[in-house]
């Protein structure tokens, strides 16, 4: 059965809008955990636009469920992960001008660097997942470099607007799951998932973890973090 990791980046976005000390993502993480979340995900971006170094440090000390750190392949980020030792890193591409992570990581292009980073993470006992589009070349490159898991990018599914394109995107995710499983990878999914579009994705067997952020934090503004997390977990199960 799939489990939910709540991405709490946008709790920090609200804080950073005023460069204030509230709301604290650490408090949000505790609420998610009390609601039954399997894990907490944060993306430490190079520009620190939401999650900051302090958040990652304190979350590592306080999160009792899975702590999943999203980051790019840059050397400063790899060094931070080696020091903090989250349970898992999810490797993502990163561009400063983007609003959110736009495409998947190009594991074919960055194969050499990816293999080095995977080795370094494994030395510290950290699981490695790559955030990729459901393309066989990307999946094989993730497997070849020793990754433990892949996170299939559901953004194209989330943006699809006709029943035909929605079904096409679901079929691509199913093929990605099959390819990942055949290559010994654990398969996660995430990006753009909401209370309205999660159910067809949650119905795909063999997707183990969902990383969902914006929709849950948006709902939490109105109903609280705990209820928002419980509502999403109910849709996944
Ligand atoms: N997975 C990855 C790899 C991401 O980069 C993000 C966004 O930070 C998410 C999942 C969550 O996306 P959303 O906020 O649209 O739920």
The protein residue whose alpha carbon is closest to atom 3 in ligand 1 is 131
Taking only the tens place, the pLDDT of each residue in 79-113 is: 999 999 999 999 999 876 777 767 899 999 999 99
Active site residue 82: no
In the prediction, which pLDDT does 96 show? 67
Q: What is the average pLDDT across 3-26?
A: 98
Q: Choose between 210 and 99: higher pLDDT.
A: 210
Taking only the tens place, the pLDDT of each residue in 128-177 is: 999 999 999 999 999 999 999 999 999 999 999 999 999 999 999 999 99
10 Cα: distance to centroid of ligand 1 (angstroms): 10
Active site residue 110: no
Ligand 1 atom with the smallest distance to the CA of 217 is 14
In the prediction, which pLDDT does 110 show? 97
**Rounded to a whole number, what is the distance in angstroms from the first to the last CA of the chain?**
8
* Segments forming the whole domain that contains residue 85: 3-236
The active-site residue out of 10, 33, 50, 70 is 70
In the prediction, which pLDDT does 94 show? 86
Q: What is the average pLDDT across 19-41?
A: 98
220's tokens: 């939490």
> Over the range 183-215, which residues count as b (16 or more CB within 10 Å of their CB) and which as e?
eebbbbbbbbbebebbeebbebeebebbbbbbb
CATH number, residue 155: 3.20.20.70
Please count the structural domains in the chain.
1
In the prediction, which pLDDT does 103 show? 86
Question: In which region does residue 85 sit, left (phi positive, over 0), alpha (psi from -120 to 50) or beta (all else)?
Answer: left
Q: For residue 197, which phi and psi values (nearest 5 degrees)?
A: -115, 5
pLDDT at 28 over 80: yes
Taking only the tens place, the pLDDT of each residue in 37-73 is: 999 999 999 999 999 999 999 999 999 999 999 999 9
The protein residue whose alpha carbon is closest to atom 4 in ligand 1 is 191
Pocket-testing residue among 2, 6, 7, ligand 1, by greatest number of atoms within 8 A of Cβ? 7
Residue 39 in contact with ligand 1 by CB distance below 6 A: no
Is residue 31 within 8 A of residue 219, CB to CB? The reply is no
In the prediction, which pLDDT does 85 show? 98
Dihedral of the alpha carbons of 98, 101, 102, 106, in degrees to the nearest 10: 120
In the prediction, which pLDDT does 1 show? 81
Taking only the tens place, the pLDDT of each residue in 171-180 is: 999 999 999 9
- pTM for the model stands at 0.96
């Amino acid at each position: 059965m799939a489990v939910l990791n709540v991405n709490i980046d946008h709790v920090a976005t609200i804080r950073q809008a005023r460069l204030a000390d509230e709301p604290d993502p650490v408090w949000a993480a505790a609420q998610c955990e009390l609601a039954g979340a399997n894990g907490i995900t944060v993306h430490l971006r190079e520009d620190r636009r939401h999650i900051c170094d302090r958040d990652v440090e304190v979350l590592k000390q306080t999160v009792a469920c899975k702590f999943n750190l999203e980051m790019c392949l840059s050397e400063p980020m790899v060094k931070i992960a080696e020091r903090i030792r989250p349970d898992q890193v999810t490797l993502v591409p990163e561009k400063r001008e983007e609003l959110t992570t736009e495409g998947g990581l190009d594991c074919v292009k960055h194969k050499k660097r990816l293999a080095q980073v995977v080795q370094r993470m494994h030395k510290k006992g950290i699981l490695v997942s790559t955030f990729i589009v459901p393309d066989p070349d990307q999946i094989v490159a993730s497997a070849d470099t020793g990754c433990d898991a892949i996170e299939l990018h559901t953004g194209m599914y989330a943006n699809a607007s006709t029943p035909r394109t929605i079904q096409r995107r679901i079929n691509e995710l199913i093929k990605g799951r099959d390819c990942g499983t055949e290559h010994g990878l654990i398969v996660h999914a995430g990006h753009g998932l909401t209370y309205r579009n999660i159910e067809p994705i949650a119905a795909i067997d063999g997707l183990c973890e969902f990383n969902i952020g914006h929709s849950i934090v948006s709902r939490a503004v109105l109903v609280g973090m705990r209820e928002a997390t419980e509502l999403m977990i109910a849709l996944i199960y």
